[in-house]
Amino acid sequence: MTATIIDGKELSKTKRSELAKEVEQIKAKGLLPKLVVILVGDNPASLSYIRGKQKAAEEIGVGFKLENYPESFSEKELLEVIEHYNNNDEYHGILVQLPLPAHINETAVVEKISPLKDVDGFHPVNIGRMMTGQDTFLPCTPAGIVEMIKSVGVDMVGKNVVVVVGRSNIVGKPVGQLLLNEHATVTYCHSKTKDLSSFTKEADILVAAVGRANFIKGEDIKPGAVVIDVGVNRLESGKLCGDVVFDEAKEVASFLTPVPGGVGPMTITMLAHNTVQSAKQFLV
């Protein structure tokens, strides 16, 4: 079997052109959707992610502002900046880029963002709403994964989904929840799971969010499975690669996401989606 590649760039292009039309309609009603991204420090990976977010915002016609503060910025100062944007209705989306410097309490920062402007979908109020299946801001990577699976017409009802070594709050836990909301049967695996491949080999849909290059081999995959590779790992050669051995998975899976060009672009597209949805709340 040779897997069909789920092209996150192509899917993003389609979704972004739909979003651009929505933005036009919102602007026609006198509102300019705007996103502010707050970065403390100058982590190169964060700066690179932020450039991607800015490009997506510009592509669909959403206003974008970067607030970049020095590494020494205090938690109190950061909370004040968030408060300012919570109360500034020219901005509809607020995103604080993670990770934050060690002296800043990430939980306090995430909880400070108004749930109405939490386009990352990280606030406990939005996580709670997601868990109860309500309409809310969904975390971008998990929402992008669901869109990718739906885009190839795979029915998730009753499917055996295994989320591999991914119990982070940003990806692993919420993607399991969203797939459960789609009526899949979900198993979470993690670093303490015994005999991991006995689980992966039973998965109709396998989500790899391990953060370790080439961790999932072809022999770990059930023939015909849908394989979603969330990993972004840089090899010593400088080349990017996922958590899945792509060339092996291609021979076993029915559908497979590439790295780069898979989950990454869709994550950013879902942020653009959330920002547009957020702006709509402010239309009178």
Contact 259, 7 (CB under 8 A): no
User: For ligand GUN, which is the closer residue by CB, 97 or 277?
Assistant: 97
Contact 64, 277 (CB under 8 A): no
Tell me whether residue 210 is annotated as binding: no
Contact 171, 230 (CB under 8 A): yes
Contact 131, 186 (CB under 8 A): no
Region 45-104 residues binding ligand GUN, contact defined as CB under 6 A = 95-98
Q: How far is the CB of 121 from ligand GUN (least distance, A)?
A: 9
- Residue 256's H or E segment, with its range, is strand 255-256
Q: Which residue's Cβ has the minimum distance to ligand GUN?
A: 98
Residues 137-156: x where in contact with ligand GUN by CB under 6 A, - otherwise, as a string: ---x----------------
Spot the catalytic one: 53, 159, 173, 250.
Answer: 53
**Active site annotation includes 120:** yes
Assigned token pair, 96: 């604080």
Residue 193 DSSP label: -
Spot the catalytic one: 97, 159, 173, 220.
Answer: 97
Phi, psi of 34 (to 5 degrees): -140, 145
277 in contact with ligand GUN (CB under 6 A): no
Binding site for ligand GUN (CB under 6 A): 95-98, 120, 140, 170
User: So which residues are the catalytic ones?
Assistant: 53, 97, 120
Q: Residues marked as binding for NADP(+)?
A: 166-168, 232
